[in-house]
Each structure stands twice: as structure tokens, then as C-alpha cells.
Structure 1
Amino acid sequence: MQMIDLANDFNLEQMVTEPTRKNNILDLFFTTNATLVEKSIVIPGMSDHDGIAMLIINTSPKRNKQKPHKAYLYNKADMPGIKNELNRFSNEFCNKSHTISGNVSVEEMWSEFKSHLNTTMDKYIPSKIMSKQNKTPWISPTIKRMQRRKQRAYNKARKSGNSSDWDNFTSIRKDTHKVTKFSYRKYVRDVCLDSKKQFWSFIKNISKDSTGISALKDHGALVSDNKQKADILNNQFCSVFTQEDIHSTPNIAQNTTPPIENITIHTPGIEKLLKDLNQNKAAGVDGISPRILKEAAHELAPILSKIFQASLDTGELPLDWRNANISRFIKG
């Protein structure tokens, strides 16, 4: 118990999961950073050991690699063309949904709106595939020229061996380091002052650790697989919900509160909400950027008001509205 308490106090995780002597684990390996351990295997042992634990350990944490994704260049977008196209589609959509609203589900209405909006964005907004972010944005073209000059001076000094060439290389290296250090500090200072989003983006880019959620125990077994950990947390969240007994509901007295009137969604209200969106926020599960919703609020408001009204009237929610991206936050 003292070893377990010690491991818990210092956030240590034991990485050897297979027995090394009969059904017991005698060889232990504790670490505070589980991402350093790539693999743990047991090889045939010697003497009274059935096996010896061998761990493959990375000498440095893995970098978080950004997956290639499509990025729209909104600064080069043809906004008049987008608004004209969406205005035409809005008139067509509202007239159609008004006449056959009883035969069209909310899911179909949302899918049609989403599909046409994505098609319009692809047509009028240039895009490019972002494979990775610039890890050193403080390195200016001037600094790059100084770095190339430093490399040429080093190659020359190494080839000639003259002390004067080495002195020249040392001087250029000192100047390059000084300018680079000043540029880095200026970039960090500007990022911290500009916005919280840029600051945390910078912190994420320089982060080398990808610990995620530590291993979890399920019925006494240590679970490290990401999907299994997600299932464990999901089951835990579900277990705290109240399970109502629907077979013995109490008798409810007559309700004297007047019933609520039918809720009507008005287009001006939806337009106002769209214009109040923060365009710097990321898109949700549906992939629709708040920027396009805000820029084309007047054209999109009639469409969305029809979809929202249909959702209220039928009690139906599109699949995108029932999904969410969930991130864990460490509570202090």
C-alpha cells in the first residue's frame, strides 16, 4: 500500500502490464509521462523469472502533428456572389418548404441547407489544404538570409581552417543568434497581447507532449486503449443519471397554470443572433464556420428560421444537432 500511495502522490504510472513470474508482475517501471513509453513487452527470462520486461522508450516526447485540413481564404472570397447565390436559394427553399413542409423531415431540410451552403462556399471562396502550421513564425526572411550566410561562413572556415575565417563565422553566428532571440521575444510578446486564441495556439504548437487521459482502471484492470477509456468514461457519466420508475408514477393534480402559447420563430430574431456570432470561433460538428453565418446572416436567416420552426413543431432534431465534440478539462 505504501508503494501505491507513493505512486499516487507523485502521479506515477506503472507501465508493465504482463506477468514476469507466473501470474505476478515483479518488474515494475514507473513514469510520470506515459507517452514516452511506446511499447512494453515481456521476453523469455532467466533463473526464477519466467520473463523480463522490456520497454521501448522514446528519448523525447512525441510532437502533436496536425492532420491536413481544408482552410477557406475568406479574405479572397467573393461575398457579393455568395450573397446572391444564397438569396436565390433562400427564396427557393422557403417557398418549397412552405408548400410541402408536411412531407419533408427536418433532417432533410437541414441536409439540403448544409449541402448547398458547402457547395456555395467551394464555388466562391478559394481554399487550400493546410498540412502543417509554421512552427517558427518569428523567423523572418532577413533572419533566414543571416542563417544561410552563417552556414556559408561555417563551411568556408571548416574547409580552410584559418583562424580569421573561424572568427568571421563566430561573429556572424553571434549576430544571427541575437537577432533571432530578439525576434522570438517580440513575437511572443505580441501574441500574448493580441488575443487569447493566438496565445493558446502558440502554446499548443510548441507543446511536445501528448499525454491525454491517463490509464483508467476498469474492474481492477488498467486500461490504456483510447476507445476503451472513452467507453469507461461514457459509462461512468451514464451511471449518474437518475433512472425514473415509469411504472409507478404519482398522480398529478389538475394543472391550473395556463398552457404556453405556440412558439413562433421570427426571421429578424435569427438574423440578429447570426450577426452577433463570434466569427473567430471554430466550426462545430457540422463544419459550418461562424464567419459565413455572420457574413451572410441576412440571406441565411429565412432558411434557418424555417428549419428551427419545423424542428419545434415536429420535435425532431437533425443528427448534427445531437452530436458534439467533447474535451476534458483537468479540475484543480
Structure 2
Amino acid sequence: MDRKFNIVVYGVAENPQNTNRQLRMKKDMENVMEALSPTDIDIEPSDIKDLYRLGKYDQKSERPRPLLVKFLRSNTAIDILSSKSKLEAPIYIKPDLTPQERQKECLLLKERRSLIDNGTERRYIKIRNDSLYLNNKLHCKGSIPCTQINDNSTIEIVWAHVHLDKNNDFIIGSFYCPPHSSDTILDNLQSSIDMIKQKYPHTQIILGGDFNCPGIDWENSTLINSYVSCHFREKLIDLSHNYQLSQLVTFPTRAQNVLDLCFTTNPNSVISCEPLPGLSDHNAVLVSIKIPKRVIKQHPRTVYLYKLADWEKIREELSDLSHDYFEINQASPQSLDENWSFFLQNLQEIINTHTPTKKLSTRIHLPWLSSALKRLIRKKQRVYRRAKRYCRDSDWNEYKSLQKEIDHKLKYQHKSYLTNLTSSPDSNKKSLWHYIKSRKQENNGISTLINPINGHIITNPVEKADTLNQHFQSVFTSEDNSNIPDKGPSLFPSLPTFEITEQGVYNLLSTCDTSKSPGPDSLHPYVLKVTAAELYPILTHIFKQSLESGEVPLQWKHAYVTPIF
């Protein structure tokens, strides 16, 4: 809907609800033409495309509902808005705003009312371009709605919840620690952060203020000479690590000391952190962050429709592949990596040729939303549109009744779905983890890490991956086989000769769990199971070759590793 063609007219008298609808619309048209006549704009009823009342009719209200007037030409709406100063009270007009713009305007008007109630004269307050000016100086902007969070703590701290939209918000806090404070103030700060974490578990936190705690090298999380006790500084460092808070200020904020700090749970969203001249003997700290925060968009992925594949053709070509494989090895024996690459590349080519695919979108899917409930939701939407159009009490009552019924059934079905998902011992674990993943409200990646060698805090994604990879490698040992001690005869029976047979490989392939996902080689268990009779000769040869050489193909050493901590 293009809102530049519309205006909203306030103060136009409204006919009773029991009047005929066509008569009400005709009377509203006449009243609008009369109300806009002082603008000296030549308007005819044919210039108006449509008009209707906004909101629900309230018989007890003395204030008439505003009228939304839609013109055929945008110039008509622009000319009327430019002449609105000529209108006579109680008539006034406004442009048709979006819900976000109305929210900004509402916030600015509330702040304006608050200033007037506190004694500020009206002539000093001006609202221009989504901003409120006091004595020609910017006082606040209406584009950042936030609410204060009540904190019963005894320390000097204030929290605010900045909610930009439904899925994009953060918590910002300001804290003051008096000089030479005891450790108790940090205990109270910890309790305050606990309260925020429990109330907003998945929301980014930004905490800044004057901590009066110099003598900390925040890049290395180490102590340097300072008048503040070591225990107090160590406790502050531990607090930041326990809550995964990264400290951003690395420059002096008063003399040569870093007293004013800024912590965040998502350092990847920070663009810059720099000092500014302050109003006191402290420098101000300017932190720029990405708003809205970075959202990792998942691209549609390709999946194979194995149940629709031409398995006869696949089996036929795999039989030819098996014949070619052994013919090549008889003519000239190939290395283990060459055999595996030949097998994998040809198998993937055959599967791609004879298996249809489709793209999976990232649309939100609620498995507990039944077809009956979807029909009920569509019915509610139809009733809502009808109620908004005709403004009948019977339609609004039906809409409210449907809304309550849908809310009740949604909660019941959601609860039943979770109960079935977690209570049954044979429940599908894949569905459970899919549900848990869908509940995540943001994706900040891996949190900050500490380098085990030098103790530095790691925020760069590449450095995080290297550190985790090094740790993963360090848990594996490389034994020295050249100097094995002789411990005499063993008290246990010797392990019998290990032999790989074609029947054994076939049995393993034919019993693959098809619900599992493929690994880095993209070989799906469904393919291995269905084509076990054609694949087992080649795989038996590769397994035997690996056992005899004591090596594995290079690709077998690749794996998906997910850190859990």
C-alpha cells in the first residue's frame, strides 16, 4: 500500500453505529469535504478513492474515530498536508504513517508530555524529523525504543532493554563502582547480571561504566601494578570470563589508567571503540555496534529424492563400475587414495545423473500446527478483515472468540508435541534437536576463547577455529613404535587374525541406518543400503588394501567437528 496517496483526518463527527452503512459513508464523505474546505484546495468527491474509519467503534467514547482518506493522486494529499495550518479546530490532519513511524511518534509525544509535566515550557520543545529538540539542542530520538528494567540491587546500576523489532534487541547497562570498594560490590554486580541472564537468556548484553579498577591488561587478562587489591581485580576478570563478557576499552580514560570499561557478550557486532573528550576529568568512550546485528542467512540447500531415483539404471551402471574398477587394478595396481577417488567420483556422478533433487527453503515450519488449526487461523483472518471493514460488534466478538480458541489450541498442541518428543524412549532424536535449534533466537557463533599458550583473548573467527582444531588434535597421541618395551609373555589369549570378507561388508552395508546424515564424503547411508549388492566387492577390496598398508585414504581423515562447552 502506497501511503503517499493517503491522509488521516481527526475530529470529524461520527454517526451512530446503528445507522445504515452506506448512509454513514455518504455522511462521512460530506463531513470530510466540509472539514477540508478551509484549505482552499479544489476537491471533488470523485478525487477520493476510498475512506473509512480507523479502529473499533466505542459507544462510550466521546472522541470520534479518525478517518483514513485515500486520494486518486498523491499531489492532492501533498497539497492538503501543506495547507493543514488553515484548518479550524477540532479538525486536524496527519500523513498516513506506518506502524513503526507511529511508534516513534508516540515515544516522542510521551517524552514531550513528560518534559511539560516536569515544568518545561512548551515553546522550548520542538519535534522535527523523528527527533525531539529542547532549546534547539537534540534531546532524544524516537527511532530507538527502549524500556528500563527494574533492578532491586543496592549498587549504582541501571539496565535498559532496547527493542528495535521482534527479533532484534539488546540489553544495555550502566554501572558505577566507587573507588576502594570491597569485593561485595562485585557480588552484587554478579547478582544483577544473573537477573538479566535469566530474564533475557538469548539477548546480547552491553555493560559500561566507571569501574575504578585500573591495573588490568585486558588483552591478556593479566594484572599489572595498581593500588587496587589483586583479589578485587582477579574477581572482576573471573566475572567477565564466567559470563563470556569481552572488555573493549584498551586506552586510558583518566590520566594513564583504564577506569571506564565496556563489556559485551557479542564482540563480533562491535565496529569500533574509541575515546572522546568528556565533560569531567574522564574521557568518554564511544562504542559503535552493528544495528541490526548480523544475522546468518541460511541459503536453500539441495537434497536428493532417493525414493524417486531410477535404481535399476543406478544398479546397472554400478555393476559396470565394479567391472572397470577391478580391470584397472589388474592391469596396473592403484594406490589406496587413487582407488577411493575413482570409486567415489564415479559413484557420485551416477547418483547425480539418475536421482532428482529439490531445494529446501528456510521457511519456519511448526510441526504441531495441524491442518484443522491452519483452517481455523485462515477463518480468523477472514473474520478480522470483515470486522475491520464493517466495524460490527458481532464480527469483533467472533474474532475475539476465534483468537482465544486458537491460542488455547496452539498451546495445547505445542505442549502435547513436546511431551511426545521427550517422554517416549523411542522418540526421534533428530526431531528433538531440530526443535531445540529452531528455538535459538540468534546466532553469535563461538563465544570468546582464551589462547592456552599466551592467555590472550581470541575474538577472530579464524583464530577461534585454529585454536579449537589444535586442541582437538592435542587429545590424540602419536606412539613411538620403534621402541616398544618387551613385557614378556601375555597373560591373555592372542587376538585371532582379522579378516575382511565380502559377506561381512555386505551385511554391514545392508543394515545401514538410513536416518543418519552423510559425512564430508556426501555418501548417504540410503545409497549404501539400497546398492549394497553392487558396492560390496569394491569396498571390500579398498578395506583390505587399507588394512594391509596400515593407511587410510586422506578423505577419511576429514570430519565435521562441533565444539560443545
For the aligned pair, the TM-score class normalised by the smaller chain equals 0.7 to 0.9
Deviations 1:81-114 (A, max 9, x none): 322221222222223223321xx22222111111
Letter in 1 for 2:449: L
Deviations 1:12-45 (A, max 9, x none): 23333242426754333345xx249721522441
- What SS does the aligned partner of 1:132 have? coil
Paired position in structure 2 for 1:99? 331
What is the distance in 2 between the residues matched to 1:175 and 1:236?
A: 53
Letter in 1 for 2:316: N
Structure number with larger C-alpha Rg: 2
Paired position in structure 2 for 1:129? 359
Paired position in structure 2 for 1:232? 467
1:190-205 equivalences in 2 (<5 Å): 190-192=420-422, 193=424, 194-205=427-438
- The yes-or-no answer on 1:279 pairing with 2:514 is yes
- The yes-or-no answer on 1:215 pairing with 2:445 is no
What is the distance in 2 between the residues matched to 1:131 and 1:37?
A: 27
Paired position in structure 2 for 1:54? 287
Deviations 1:232-263 (A, max 9, x none): 233345556668899xx769779999x99986
Higher helix share: 1
Letter in 2 for 1:205: S
Paired position in structure 2 for 1:170? 400
What is the distance in 1 between the residues matched to 2:236 and 2:319?
A: 65
What is the distance in 2 between the residues matched to 1:240 and 1:75?
A: 41
Paired position in structure 2 for 1:320? 555
Paired position in structure 1 for 2:111? none
Letter in 2 for 1:307: I
What is the distance in 2 between the residues matched to 1:236 and 1:24?
A: 36
Of 8, 21, 34, the match for 2:252: 21
What is the distance in 2 between the residues matched to 1:133 and 1:288?
A: 26
Paired position in structure 2 for 1:87? 319
- The yes-or-no answer on 1:112 pairing with 2:342 is yes
Paired position in structure 2 for 1:5? 235
Deviations 1:303-329 (A, max 9, x none): 111122222334443221111111122
Are the structure 2 counterparts of residues 12 and 261 from structure 1 closer, same or farther at C-alpha, using a change threshold of 3 Å? closer
- What SS does the aligned partner of 1:123 have? helix
Are the structure 2 counterparts of residues 159 and 309 from structure 1 closer, same or farther at C-alpha, using a change threshold of 3 Å? same
Question: Once the 2 structures are TM-superposed, how far is the Cα of residue 229 of structure 1 from its aligned partner?
Answer: 1.5
Are the structure 2 counterparts of residues 265 and 133 from structure 1 closer, same or farther at C-alpha, using a change threshold of 3 Å? farther
What is the distance in 2 between the residues matched to 1:244 and 1:89?
A: 39
* 8 Å contact from structure 1 (residues 285, 323) kept in 2: yes
Q: RMSD across aligned C-alpha pairs, in angstroms? A: 3.5
What is the distance in 2 between the residues matched to 1:269 and 1:36?
A: 52
What is the distance in 2 between the residues matched to 1:134 and 1:286?
A: 29
What is the distance in 2 between the residues matched to 1:254 and 1:16?
A: 55
- The yes-or-no answer on 1:38 pairing with 2:269 is yes
Higher strand share: 2
Q: TM-score, normalised by structure 1?
A: 0.81
1:148-167 equivalences in 2 (<5 Å): 148-167=378-397
Letter in 2 for 1:161: C
Higher relative contact order (CA 8 A, sep 6+): 1
What is the distance in 2 between the residues matched to 1:113 and 1:242?
A: 31
89-98 or 184-193: which moved more? 184-193
Paired position in structure 2 for 1:75? 307
90-99 or 197-206: which moved more? 90-99
* 8 Å contact from structure 2 (residues 310, 354) kept in 1: yes
- What SS does the aligned partner of 1:28 have? strand
Letter in 1 for 2:339: M
Are the structure 2 counterparts of residues 183 and 41 from structure 1 closer, same or farther at C-alpha, using a change threshold of 3 Å? same
**Unmatched runs of 5 consecutive residues or more in structure 1:** none
- The yes-or-no answer on 1:183 pairing with 2:413 is yes
What is the distance in 2 between the residues matched to 1:186 and 1:254?
A: 61
Question: Once the 2 structures are TM-superposed, how far is the Cα of residue 188 of structure 1 from its aligned partner?
Answer: 3.0
Letter in 2 for 1:274: L
* 8 Å contact from structure 1 (residues 17, 25) kept in 2: no
188-197 or 200-209: which moved more? 188-197
Q: TM-score, normalised by structure 2?
A: 0.50
Letter in 1 for 2:322: S
Question: Once the 2 structures are TM-superposed, how far is the Cα of residue 286 of structure 1 from its aligned partner?
Answer: 0.7
What is the distance in 2 between the residues matched to 1:62 and 1:185?
A: 32
Are the structure 2 counterparts of residues 154 and 58 from structure 1 closer, same or farther at C-alpha, using a change threshold of 3 Å? same
Are the structure 2 counterparts of residues 161 and 109 from structure 1 closer, same or farther at C-alpha, using a change threshold of 3 Å? same
What is the distance in 1 between the residues matched to 2:523 and 2:500?
A: 21
* 8 Å contact from structure 1 (residues 82, 124) kept in 2: yes
